[in-house]
Structure 1
Amino acid sequence: MREHDCSEPGLLAALQDDGFRFVEAPAMRRLLQSHGALNDWEAFVGSWDELVPDAYLARTGRHRRRRYAVFSATADGAIRREPHQPHFQSSTYNALQGDIERWFEPIAPAIGDGASLRTMLAFVCGLFPQMAPAVRRWHIEVHQFRIEARPDEPGEPTPEGVHRDGVDYVLVLLIDRQNIASGTTTIHAADGTLLGSFTLTNPLDAALVDDSRVFHGVTAVTPLDPSQSAHRDVLVITLRRDD
C-alpha cells in the first residue's frame, strides 16, 4: 500500500492495488480543495446537531442519529440531487436491518446544496469512476451519522459488525469527535483477515473503500469522561453503478 503518496493518482493506484486507503486530514483537505471550496464548513459541521434519532435502529436497543440524501452523477460530470427516497440494503449485506425500506429525514437543502458537500461529491465523482470508466451513471447515497456514547452503553458506529455495504465505493469522512475513545476503522479480506486499521481522529481524516473487494467495520466508542456527552460524527458517501 502506498502510505506516503497522497496525490490523487497515488490514491487511485492504492485503491486499485489494495481496495482501500486511509488519508489523514491535511492531505484530504488538499484533495478536496482541488475540487471546490469548503467555505461553509462551520455550518456544515453544525448541521450534525440537527440530526434525528434512527428509529429503525432504536428497535434493536441501539442508538444513533442520522440524515440522508440521494444524488446521481453521469459520465459528463453532472451531479444532481434526486427526490427523497428510502435507503435499502438486502439482508446479504445487512443482517440486522436488511430487506426493508428505511425512510430517514432528509439532509437539509442548505447543506445538500452547500459548498462543502458539493466539493465532497465532486471529489468522489472525480476519483471512484476512474476505476470503472465504462459506467455511465452512478447512484450516490449520502449519510450524516452521529454515534453517541453513554457511560453505561458504548456507541456502535457499525452495529451490523464487519460488513460490506452492497455498493461499489465508499468514502467515510470524520466530521467531529468529542470526548470519545476508540472508534477504529478496520479493513478485512473476505476470509476475515485484517488488512489495515486506522482511527479517524481529526476532522477530514478519511477512509476510502472499494466495497466490492473488502469488508470494513468500526470498533465501539466509549466516553473519555462519563460525566460529559460524547459523540462521533461522520459523513458517509457511497457510489453504486446505476446502468
Structure 2
Amino acid sequence: MAQIAYHGGMHNHTDLQASSLLHAVSLDGFAFVSAENMGTLLASSGELEDWAGFVDSWNHLEPDRYLAAKGRFRRRRHATFSATAQSPVVPEPHQAHFQALQYNALQGDIERWFEPISAAVVAGSTLRAILTFCNEFFSSLASPAPRWHIEVHQFRIEATAGVAGEPTPEGSHRDGVDYVLVLLVNRHNIASGTTTIHAPDGRLLGEFTLARPLDAALIHDPRVFHGVTPVMPLVADEPAFRDVLVVTFRAVPSEAATGST
C-alpha cells in the first residue's frame, strides 16, 4: 500500500485547487479528486500523522447484520458529528443511522445501529483533518452555511472468486443528505469498483475508479445519483477488499437537535 506522508501547511496552489473543485461541484453536482490533490487539500486542514493506524482500523470492522439479512455481506462502523462553519467538528453520542425508503429501497425506513467507530480513530488527526476539510468545503457551497449533522461510515467490501463484492448493493442512489465525500482508504487484490455518477433520468455523467489511497469523490447529493460497480478478486485464493470512508453532511435548523439521518 502507498505510504501517506502529507503534513499541514497551506501551499500556494491549494486555494486554486479548492476553488476549482467548488466550481465543479456547483456546476455539475460532483467532482472527482486525485490522491495527490486530495492529499494537498487535507494537509491544509490538518495532519495525517496517524494514517497507518487509521488504515489498520478497517481490519477491525464488524459485519453489517442488516445487509446480511438481505443475503449480502459487508463490514462497517459508524459515528456521528456536528459542526457549523464557525465551529469545529465535534463528536455526538452514538446513534442510529436512518434513511427513508425513497433513498434506500433495500434498507430504508429502519433504524440501523452499527458498531461505533473506535475512539482512537474519532480522536485521531487523520479523521479530524478530513472532517475539517469537509466542513470548510461544504460550508462554502451552502448559502447561508447551516448547522451540519455529519455521519461517518467505514466500509469494507470483500470479494471472493465465487461472489462479487457490492459496494452499493442498493444500486445507483442518493443518500438523502446535502453533500457526500467518498474517500478511498485502501484496496487489495480487486478489479473494478468504479464510482459512477448519474443524472436523475439515468444518464451517465461521469465515472472514476478510486484506485489509490486518498482518491475521492465529492457529491452534491440532491442533484445527482451515485453508485459503484461490483468488485472481483484479481487472484482467486487471496483476500480481496475495498476500504472506503464515506462522510455525509446534512443541513439541520440551528435550533434543532442532531437527530439521526
TM-score range, shorter chain: over 0.9
- Mapped to 2, the partners of 1:197 and 1:90 lie a distance apart of 26
Task: Find the residue that maps to 1:203 and give its secondary structure.
Answer: coil
Query: Shift of the alpha carbon at 1:78?
Result: 2.0
In the alignment, structure 1 residue 192 sits paired with structure 2 residue 188: no
2:246 to 228, 236, 240: 236
Aligned partner of 1:233: which letter? Answer: D
- Which residue of 2 is the match for residue 85 of structure 1? 95
The correspondence of residues 191-210 of structure 1 with structure 2, limited to 5 A, is 191-210=201-220
In the alignment, structure 1 residue 154 sits paired with structure 2 residue 160: no
Could you list the structure 1 runs, at least 4 aligned residues long, displaced by more than 4 angstroms after superposition: none
Does the 8 A contact of 2:179 with 2:249 survive in 1?
A: yes
Query: Shift of the alpha carbon at 1:133?
Result: 2.9
The correspondence of residues 1-243 of structure 1 with structure 2, limited to 5 A, is 7-243=17-253
The one-character-per-residue Cα deviations of 1:130-156 (angstroms, maximum 9, x if unpaired) are 111313310000000000001111000
Aligned partner of 2:79: which letter? Answer: A
- Mapped to 1, the partners of 2:204 and 2:98 lie a distance apart of 28
The one-character-per-residue Cα deviations of 1:110-142 (angstroms, maximum 9, x if unpaired) are 100100000000000000111113133100000
TM-score normalised over the length of structure 1: 0.97
Aligned partner of 1:51: which letter? Answer: L
Task: Find the residue that maps to 1:7 and give its secondary structure.
Answer: helix
Does the 8 A contact of 1:54 with 1:64 survive in 2?
A: yes
Does the 8 A contact of 2:85 with 2:136 survive in 1?
A: no
Does the 8 A contact of 1:148 with 1:230 survive in 2?
A: yes
Query: Shift of the alpha carbon at 1:75?
Result: 2.9
Query: Shift of the alpha carbon at 1:218?
Result: 0.2
Does the 8 A contact of 1:6 with 1:23 survive in 2?
A: no
CA RMSD of aligned residues (A): 1.0
Once the two structures are aligned, what percentage of the paired residues are identical?
62
Query: Shift of the alpha carbon at 1:6?
Result: 6.6
Does the 8 A contact of 2:153 with 2:247 survive in 1?
A: yes
- Mapped to 2, the partners of 1:202 and 1:215 lie a distance apart of 23
TM-score normalised over the length of structure 2: 0.90
- Mapped to 2, the partners of 1:219 and 1:77 lie a distance apart of 37
For structure 2, the residue ranges without an aligned partner over 5 or more in a row are: 1-14, 254-261
- Mapped to 2, the partners of 1:118 and 1:75 lie a distance apart of 15
Task: Find the residue that maps to 1:159 and give its secondary structure.
Answer: coil
- Mapped to 2, the partners of 1:241 and 1:100 lie a distance apart of 21
Aligned partner of 2:213: which letter? Answer: P
For structure 1, the residue ranges without an aligned partner over 5 or more in a row are: none
- Mapped to 1, the partners of 2:172 and 2:26 lie a distance apart of 21
Query: Shift of the alpha carbon at 1:76?
Result: 1.1
Query: Shift of the alpha carbon at 1:77?
Result: 2.6
